[in-house]
Structure 1
Amino acid sequence: MPKSLSLRAGLGNVLFWSVISAAFIGPGTVTTCAMAGSRFGLQLLWALTFSTFGTIILQEAAARVTIASGLSLGEILTQTYGSRIRWIMIALAGAVTLGCAAYEAGNILGAMSGLVLLTTGSSQLITLLIGLLCIVLLWRGSTKLIANVLGLIVFLMGGAFAYVALSVSPGPQPVLHAMVSPSLPPNSLVLIIGLIGTTIVPYNLFLGSGIGQNQSLSEMRWGITLAVLIGGLTSMSILVAGTLVTGDFSFQQIEQALSYRLGNWAGALFAFGLFAAGFTSCLTAPLAAAVTTKSLLGWSEHSLSYKAVWLLVILFGLTFGLLGVKPVPVIVLAQAANGLLLPVVTVFLLIAVNNKTILPAQYRNSIWQNILMLIVVIVTTFLGLRNLWLITQ
């Protein structure tokens, strides 16, 4: 008999799965979405609609595989292909860790920027406190505790951005039309790729698979769908808020534009949202690196190697954050690695959810699920290769 899902349990589930939203809404997402709104108005909202539903489809598939088999996505790849792809596993683990380490610096700097806008405090002291708090929370070792903390912050962040967006929105009809009407304005392709790529994040599939064990299908689907929808609507709210910004683009410009048009409260809410986006990603980037590496290489969650991965990611980001230096060469390398990682992971996932030797019939993809997932795989493959091509130019 399927497990019933009470309202209280359902809300707790959404809170738990908000770790996925926390992972893809970081300072990079705030920048990309706000810049899209600043340059193209509402015309690129459709890209966030596509990426939100694409994320739900892929995350549900990754978690379903784990629930049905009891194995994480990385363990399934190892069991299916064995030593034949050992070098691919090591390369994937290295690419994810490198990418997370590079982006951790941006996450810490983003969280610090939000608090500086709010408090005008010492940037170095705030950076150090953020790094130390992340280490304390991750050292506790409870994935559920971290997920719940992140969930609360994501809800607050989403509310802050949504309130600002509603205050500047031209009305529901133009927004809804832009959400479902694809358009390609001149010189918008890079931002479209950025909007989709910043939402459909490859390491999130390993993160969702790694934390999704011991749940029923109904719990998982309810939690993932609502949590990712909240994340997608938050990203859309940031884009709408970005339509107020003209001229040079920076966090300070957004804060000043909102404060000038709506009052100081709007600038303060944006600053809090920026801090929340940075802080949640400060936690999820090292956590995702450790969970993915554990999944791919077969480590224990309590092993020193597992803890060493997330600790190194935080220390890397903290060092660059304290120096105030953005690790541009490493970020470029990480983008290239993630550009290849995204299509590889999505193709592996599509094969896994149709594997008759691992999954019972009721857990395998239906024809419609395969069609929807194949569309997402094709688009993410294009994005990954396109992203790699742009970087190499």
Structure 2
Amino acid sequence: MTTASVAGASFGYALLWALLFSVIATAVLQEMSARLGLVTRQGLAQALRDTFSGRWYGTVAVILVVAAVGFGNAAYEAGNITGAALGLQGLSGVDGWIWSLLVGGASGALLFSGRYKMIEGVLVVLVLLMSTVFLLTFIMVRPSLAEFFGGMLRPTLPEGSLLTAIALIGTTVVPYNLFLHSSAVQEKWPASEGLDRSLRAARVDTGVSIGLGGLITLAIMSTAAAAFFGSNMEITAANIAVQLEPLLGSASRYFFAIGLFAAGLSSAVAAPLAAAYAVSGALGWQADLASWRFRSIWLAVLLCGTFFAVIGTKPLTAILFAQAANGFLLPICAIFLLLMVNRKAAMGGHCNGLASNLLGAVVVAVTLGLGGLKLYQVLF
């Protein structure tokens, strides 16, 4: 919500191409991740460890997974907690650092209890309600079709937009989801359901979810562009809800705050859990919710994220940075996934075809190119 709002407010419709690319990339990579999990009955991290075990580059792969997912999620977690705290601050007026501390504590309590599912439904309803409001507002603001399709089909990088473009990709194609999804599909579709049936169901599930998510992000970018771009009004934590005023008027502030809190808290629980599954798999540890090793991983991620949220990093800056970190880490995770789904010995007749490999290579090339360009700008 925050990254898409910043993208639309700062650059109008110019970065819609990055969103379109992100949606396609997410669909391609998540399908591979689900296929790997259902065919091998292993998560991505576990498959990497088993494949490269005993080789020198196996150790390098494990280190990269721990760095990419463990440390990457720590940065991402700061944005999650900051987002949830930002929503609560908007409702109460209480300082954000206090809410960050409470959100971090609440997330830890939910993870320790293992009862997050009890409130997950409520959070999902709140996020879907917020998404519906954005879609209705998008219809009301009626963006210019020429600018809209121009931004979507003509890739450009306006001055100062590169980090935002990387962040937009990072918030859509979330690297840790590749590890989480390959494990989650095994629980949702057990081996007893049959492989072909499970693969079909997983593809439909992935397509619907990603398509809906892309549509919502598109609406958020467009409403922010209509409200802020070209108005000489800078988007801040205090006025970010202005984009919903065409539909909600003065109530937009409260509605946006509730949605931001729900999205932030749900992600603040999911990110440490995903990191724990990925790192445990890479290190060969048992992925048991009651295991002290498993708990130590998600606790480290949660504490790190809470610390950076509490010390007072600017809310929008923290969230944007977290998503940009995801964008930089994405090609590493995508390369690992491509290696795994091309293993004939494990995947059999379900290995990647030429089209899937080409699409995967494009994703890696684009994300590496954007990341490399940003590093060049920083260094030179």
Give the shorter-chain TM-score range.
0.7 to 0.9
Give me the CA root mean square deviation.
3.2
Structure-2 residue corresponding to 1:7: none
Partner SS state of residue 32, structure 2: helix
Q: Following the alignment from structure 1 to structure 2, what is the Cα–Cα distance between the partners of residues 273 and 390?
A: 35
Is it true that 1:139 corresponds to 2:112 in the alignment? yes
C-alpha contact 2:68 2:332 (8 A) present in aligned 1: no
Q: C-alpha displacement at 1:142, in angstroms? A: 6.5
On the 8 A contact 2:168/2:323 being kept in 1, the answer is: no
- 1:250 and 2:236 correspond: yes
**CA deviation after TM superposition for structure 1 residue 206, in Å:** 0.9
Tell me the equivalent position of 1:183.
155
Tell me which amino acid in the other structure corresponds to 1:287: L
Counterpart of 1:346, as a letter, is: A
> Distance in 2 between the 1:260 and 1:332 partners?
26
CA deviation map 1:19-76 (0-9, x unaligned): xxxxxxxxxxx33322221233223222211101110110110110110011111121
1:175-196 deviation line (CA, Å, top 9, x unaligned): 8625741231531444323322
In the alignment, which residue of structure 2 is the partner of 1:226? 208
* Change beyond 3 A, Cα 1:334–1:52: closer
Is structure 2 residue 26 aligned with structure 1 residue 55? Answer: yes
Q: What residue in structure 1 maps to residue 9 of structure 2?
A: 38
Cα gap change, 1:281 to 1:169, in 2 (>3 Å) = farther
Distance in 1, Cα, partners of 2:353 & 2:118: 34
Within the candidate set 350, 364, 373, 1:377 is matched to 364
Return the match for 2:310 from 322, 328, 332. 322
Q: What SS class does the counterpart of residue 173 from structure 2 fall into? A: coil
- Contact kept in structure 1, 2:46 and 2:284, CA below 8 Å: yes
Count of residue pairs brought into register by the alignment: 362
Q: 1:154 to 1:217 in 2, by over 3 A?
A: farther
Whole-Å Cα distance in 1 between the matches of residues 257 and 340 of structure 2?
42
| CA separation of 1:260 and 1:150: change in aligned 2, threshold 3 A | closer
Would you say the 8 A contact 1:102–1:327 is kept in 2?
A: no
Secondary structure (helix, strand or coil) at the match of 2:239 reads: helix
The residue number in structure 2 matching 1:273 is 259
After TM superposition, list the pairs within 5 Å mapping 1:88-127 onto structure 2: 88-121=61-94, 123-127=96-100
How far did 1:350 drift? Answer: 1.5
Q: Give the structure 2 partner of residue 366 of structure 1.
A: 353
Q: TM-score, normalised by structure 2?
A: 0.83
The question of whether the paired residues in 2 share the 8 Å contact of 1:52 and 1:229 is answered with: yes
Q: Return structure 1 stretches of 4+ with deviation > 6 angstroms.
A: 142-147, 330-337
CA distance 1:83–1:381, shift in 2 (3 Å): farther
Matched-pair contact (CA < 8 Å) for 1:202–1:342:
yes
Secondary structure, in 3 states, of the residue corresponding to 1:71? coil
Match of 1:157 among 116, 130, 134: 130
Relative to structure 1, the CA distance from residue 254 to residue 181 in structure 2 (aligned partners, 3 Å threshold; closer, same or farther) is same
- 1:308: which partner in 2? 296
Contact 1:99 1:331 in 2 (8 A): no
CA deviation after TM superposition for structure 1 residue 387, in Å: 4.2
CA contact (8 A) 1:157 1:277 kept: no
2:238 is aligned with what amino acid? Q
Is the counterpart of residue 76 in structure 1 residue 47 in structure 2? Answer: yes
Could you report, residue by residue, the CA deviation over 1:192-236 in whole angstroms, capped at 9, with x for unpaired residues? Answer: 233223322222211111212142112211222211222222221
The residue type equivalent to 1:92 in the other structure is: V
Q: Which of 200, 204, 226 pairs up with 2:177?
A: 204
> What percent identity do the matched residue pairs reach?
39
CA contact (8 A) 1:93 1:293 kept: yes
AA matched with 2:50: Q
AA matched with 1:74: A
Q: How far apart are 1:349 and its partner, in Å?
A: 1.5
Distance 1:271 1:338, change over 3 A: closer
8 Å Cα contact 2:48/2:61 also seen in 1 = no
Separation of aligned partners in 2, 1:39 and 1:170: 16
Per-residue deviation, 1:272: 2.5
